[in-house]
Structure 1
Amino acid sequence: MILSKARQLKDRLEEKKQLRDSMNQLQGYKTRKQRLEEFIQKVEPLTQTSQVLRQQGIGTPKADNAKTVAKIIGEIQGKYREQHSFIHQPKSLDPLKAGIDSFAAKLNAQNQTIWNQYMEKVVPITNQNLLDVLNMIPTFKGAVRDVQTLSREIGQYKNNPPKTQQDVDNFTQKVEKLKLIWGQLGSEDIPNEVLVFLQSAVIQGASLDLLTDSVRNWLNKNGIQSFFRIKLSS
C-alpha cells in the first residue's frame, strides 16, 4: 500500500514537472513570437512607404541587403524544422535582429533621400524677404499668412515620407495651393528693383530714384500704389 502511494506521488510529481516544462516552453514561444512581431512592426511601415513611392513614380528604393535577411530567415526555419527547441536558445534570433536592423536603416535612408529629392523638385521656393515686406502691406497680409502656414505644413513632410496614398494626396494638395497663392503674389516674376523699392519703402523710406517706371507699373498692376506716400526726408 505504501509502495503504491509512493508510486502515485512519483507519477504526480512527474506530471507536475512535465506541466511546468510545457508552461515554460509555451512562454518561450510567446516571447519569440513577440520579438518577431517587433521585427515586423519595424519593417512594415518602411516597405509601405517604398511601395507608395514606386506606385507614384517618385522613385524606387532598394535595400541591397534584403537577400541577406531572407537567407537568415531561411536558415532559422531550417534549424527550427530540425529541432523545435532551437528557437528557445537565448541568441537564436540575434542574427535576424541584426539583419532586420541593417535592412530597416538602409531602406529608411533610401526612402528619405528619394522623398526629399522629390520635395526639392516640386515645392516652390518662397522668398522670405519678399514675404516680410508684403506682410507690411494690408492687401497682402492674408496671402502672406497662407503662404507661411502652407510652408510650415509642407516642411513637416521633410524626412517624413508618405506611408499611404492619402499622405501623397494631402501633400500634393498643399503644394498646389502654395503654388497658386505664391503665384498670385506676383512672386515668380517680380523684378528685383521692385523688391528693393518695397524693402526700402517699408523699412526706412525709399528715395525717388528707386521709383522707376517698372516699379510704378508693378505697383499699379497689383493695386497697391495708394499705400505709398512721398515725404520730404529730414
Structure 2
Amino acid sequence: MSDQRQGLHKGTGVILKRDISPEGNINLLCLLREKGPIWVSLPGGAKGKVRLGGSTEPMIWGEFSLHRSRSRDYLKEVEVKQDFWKLRSMPEALMTSFRWFRLLGDVLLWRQPVDEVLPVLYWSMELLESGSDPIGVDLRFTWRLLNALGIAPSMKNCDYCGADISCGVWRDNGFVCVNCGDGDKKLDLSISILWIFSPQSAIRGKKLSLEARNSILSVKPLLVENFKLLS
C-alpha cells in the first residue's frame, strides 16, 4: 500500500492521461514509483493560472512535487526528465503508446504500487521512438507487462509437459506443444519469441516484414486474453 500521509511529497513516473474540467481544472492520471496509479489535480491549470505548460501532457516522464490533502493530491511542480518529443510525430508509434496508457489505466489498481511496470513502459517507448516496428514492440510490451503482473504465459515451454516449443497451440491461457495440442491450430512462435526476449539493442530501429507482422498479429490477441485473469 502506498503512503497516504497528508502534506508535501514527491513521486517519479509518467503521465498516462489528462482530463480538463469545464471549470478549467486539469486532472492527471500518473503512474508513480512506490505509489502506483494516482489522480492528481491542478486547479485552474487550463486557464493559465498555473504555468506548467507542456509538463502536464501525457507521455511526460519526470519528478512530480505533490501536496496531499484529505481527499486528493494536488500538483505543485514537475521536473521533466523525458518528454519523448520525437515519438509524438510518429503516428503509428504514438497510437501504440496511447493504447498502452489506456490499458494501464484499466488493469492497474488505484494507489497500488507496481514499480515493475514502469521500466517495461519506459523502455518500450524508447524502442518506439528509435523506429522499431510498433507491431513487434507492442507484442514485447504486452508480454512483459503480463510478466510483471505475474500472468504471462510461457513462450518457450509447453504448459502441459514442459517440452521446448517454437510452434505451439493456445489452450487454457497458455501455449502447449503440438503433441499436447493435437488437432488444434498451430502457431509459429519463433518471431514472437525473438521480439519478446531479444536485448533492447538487438531490435532498436528494426522493422518487420509483412509476413512477420502477420505472425505476431496472430499471437498478440491470445496474450491479451490473460488480462481477464486480473478480474
Normalization by structure 2: what TM-score? 0.24
Which has the bigger relative contact order, CA under 8 A and spacing at least 6? 1
Greater share of strand: 2
